C-alpha cells in the first residue's frame, strides 16, 4: 500500500465518510422498517452500490416479483453514470485489474473527487483514485450494516427516510452552484430537467434531460473552440 497516497485519499474522502455513514445508516433503518433484517441492506449495499436505487429496490421487494421493472428503473436512475464513464475513460487507463472495481464503485461522490482533485507531487493519481473508490465503498456498506443492526433497536416509525437521498443531491447541487464561476451548466441542467419532466413525464425525464444537457454543453464547447 502506498501510505502517503492512501492518507491523502482518506483526507479527501472524510466529508464523504460522514455523509455516507449517516445515509447508509438511514438506509439500513429504512430497510428494517420495511421488514428486512440487517443482512438485506448490507448485501444490497455491497452488490448494488447505488444509493437511490437501493431505496427503490427496497420497495420493489415488497411487491410482486418483477425483475424487468427493477432492471429498467435501475438503468433509468443510474443512466447518468454513462456520462461519468465517458469523462473518466482517459484517467482510468493503465489502472490494470483495479479498473474493474473502480468502474463498479464509481458513484456520484467518488466521480466528483476523482475527476476534480489535482493531486500534488509525490501522490500517485491512479492509486489515489483507487483508494477513493475503495474508501467510499466501505463507508456506504458499513453505514448500511450499522443501520440494519440499529434498526432492530428502534421501535418507533421514522417517516420520510426515503427522502434522504433527494436531500443529499439538493445539498450537493447548492454547494456546486455557489462555488462555480459560471452558472451556465447548472442553469442548463435545471431548464432541461423541468422541460423533460413536462414533456416525457417522471419515468423517462432523467435520461432525456441528461442527453439534452450533453448536447447543449457540447455545442457551447465547440463554439468556444472555434473562437
What pLDDT does 161 receive?
Answer: 58
The reply to whether the predicted model has a pTM over 0.75 is: no
Residue ranges of the alpha helices (H) in the chain?
Answer: 3-34, 39-47, 51-60, 67-77, 80-88, 98-104, 108-116, 125-151, 164-179, 184-200, 205-226
Mean pLDDT over residues 74-87, rounded? 77
- In the DSSP assignment, the letter for residue 13 is H
Distances (CA, A) of 44 to 1, 40, 49, 56, 65: 28, 6, 7, 12, 17
Mean pLDDT over residues 125-137, rounded? 93
164-171, Cβ contacts within 8 angstroms, sequence gap of 24 or more: 164/23, 164/26, 164/27, 165/23, 165/51, 165/52, 165/55, 168/19, 168/23, 168/51, 169/108
pLDDT tens by residue, 157-199: 656 655 665 666 676 677 667 777 778 878 888 898 899 889 9
Amino acid at each position: 500500500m502506498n501510505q502517503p497516497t492512501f492518507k491523502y485519499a482518506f483526507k479527501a474522502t472524510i466529508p464523504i465518510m460522514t455523509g455516507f455513514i449517516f445515509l447508509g445508516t438511514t438506509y439500513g433503518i429504512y430497510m428494517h422498517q420495511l421488514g428486512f433484517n440487517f443482512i438485506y441492506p448490507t448485501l444490497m449495499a455491497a452488490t448494488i452500490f447505488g444509493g437511490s436505487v437501493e431505496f427503490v429496490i427496497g420497495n420493489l421487494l415488497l411487491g410482486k416479483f418483477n425483475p424487468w421493472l427493477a432492471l429498467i428503473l435501475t438503468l433509468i436512475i443510474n443512466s447518468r453514470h454513462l456520462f461519468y464513464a465517458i469523462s473518466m475513460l482517459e484517467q482510468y487507463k493503465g489502472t490494470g485489474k483495479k479498473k474493474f472495481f473502480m468502474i463498479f464503485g464509481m458513484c456520484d461522490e467518488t466521480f466528483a473527487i476523482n475527476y476534480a482533485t489535482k493531486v500534488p507531487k509525490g501522490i500517485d493519481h491512479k492509486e489515489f483514485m483507487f483508494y477513493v473508490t475503495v474508501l467510499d465503498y466501505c463507508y456506504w456498506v458499513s453505514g448500511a450494516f450499522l443501520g440494519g443492526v440499529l434498526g432492530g433497536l428502534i421501535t418507533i416509525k421514522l417517516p420520510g427516510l426515503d427522502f434522504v437521498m433527494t436531500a443529499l443531491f439538493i445539498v450537493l447541487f447548492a454547494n456546486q452552484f455557489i462555488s462555480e464561476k459560471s452558472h451556465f451548466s447548472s442553469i442548463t441542467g435545471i431548464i432541461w430537467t423541468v422541460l423533460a419532466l413536462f414533456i416525457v413525464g417522471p419515468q423517462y425525464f432523467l435520461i432525456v434531460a441528461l442527453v439534452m444537457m450533453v448536447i447543449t454543453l457540447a455545442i457551447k464547447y465547440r463554439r468556444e473552440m472555434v473562437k
